[in-house]
Amino acid sequence: MRAIKALFWDVGGVLLTDAWDHTQRADTLAHFGLDPAKFQQHHETLVSSFERGKIGLDEYLDRTVFTHERSFTRESFRDYMFSLSKPKADVLALAQELAKSGKYFMSTINNESLELNLYRIQTFGLRDIFNLFVSSCFVGLRKPEEGIYRLALELTQRAAEESCFLDDRPLNLEAAARLGMHTIRVQDAAQVRTELKKLGIMG
């Protein structure tokens, strides 16, 4: 087996909680007393454009939440959305450890809308961990589309066989594996450490 030279990480559900997945949306809608069915109808038509960076957060909120006057402000809604992002401390610390070793090219491959992505990069110190962010909002592609994995390999000039992708969702891992990348389904830090050791990382 060729030595692993690059580690590609999902962010939401791996290093941090999800940013705006169904759990976060349900929490926010309940907090502000919004109708989930009406919101979801608008969200489904916009989420692809939102995560690909084709529309920003303000337009997304205009078309999902602020379709008419509300008793709360846009700022309070945004602040609540952002406040739901929390670190998964053990896995985040493991990624920091690998980054500090200097042995591996560290990159993300993550689906994220622009404003939430930038907030999370800044708030949780992700620039100190990663050399590159292959985020859907930056590149206009989303997992599990094969193109986003190909782009990550092309940008980093790493061979698939020398790369490992870590994600919590099987569908996203399947697409990477088809290109020849090693994959790890993230459950917790101890399990990830064990799987990395099998690949000759952290041995």
The pairing of strands 163-167 and 6-9 is parallel
Please indicate, yes or no, whether residues 26 and 110 belong to a single structural domain of this protein: no
- The pLDDT of residue 203 is 58
Strand partners for 132:
107
Predicted pLDDT of residue 202: 80
Residue linked to tokens 């094969």: 146
Sheet bearing 163-167, strands edge to edge: 132-135, 105-110, 6-9, 163-167, 182-185
β-pair type (163-167, 132-135): unpaired
Together in a domain, 131 and 184 = yes
Instruction: Answer whether residue 77 is part of any domain.
Output: yes
CA 158/CA 4 separation, integer angstroms: 10
pLDDT value of residue 188:
97
Q: Which domain holds residue 77?
A: 22-83
Same domain assignment for residues 150 and 105: yes
The pTM assigned to this predicted structure is: 0.96
pLDDT tens track of the chain, all 203 residues?
789 999 999 999 999 999 999 999 999 999 999 999 999 999 999 999 999 999 999 999 999 999 999 999 999 999 999 999 999 999 999 999 999 999 999 999 999 999 999 999 999 999 999 999 999 999 999 999 999 999 999 999 999 999 999 999 999 999 999 999 999 999 999 999 999 999 999 85
Q: How many domains does the chain have?
A: 2
CA distance linking residue 186 with residue 71, whole number of Å: 40
The CATH number assigned to the domain holding 188 equals: 3.40.50.1000
Say yes or no: 128 and 64 in one domain.
no
Query: What pLDDT sits at residue 154?
Result: 98
Residues 6+ apart with CB under 8 A from 39: 25, 29, 64, 65
- Residue 1's pLDDT is what? 76
Strands 163-167 and 105-110: unpaired
Domain of 50, CATH number, reads 1.10.150.240
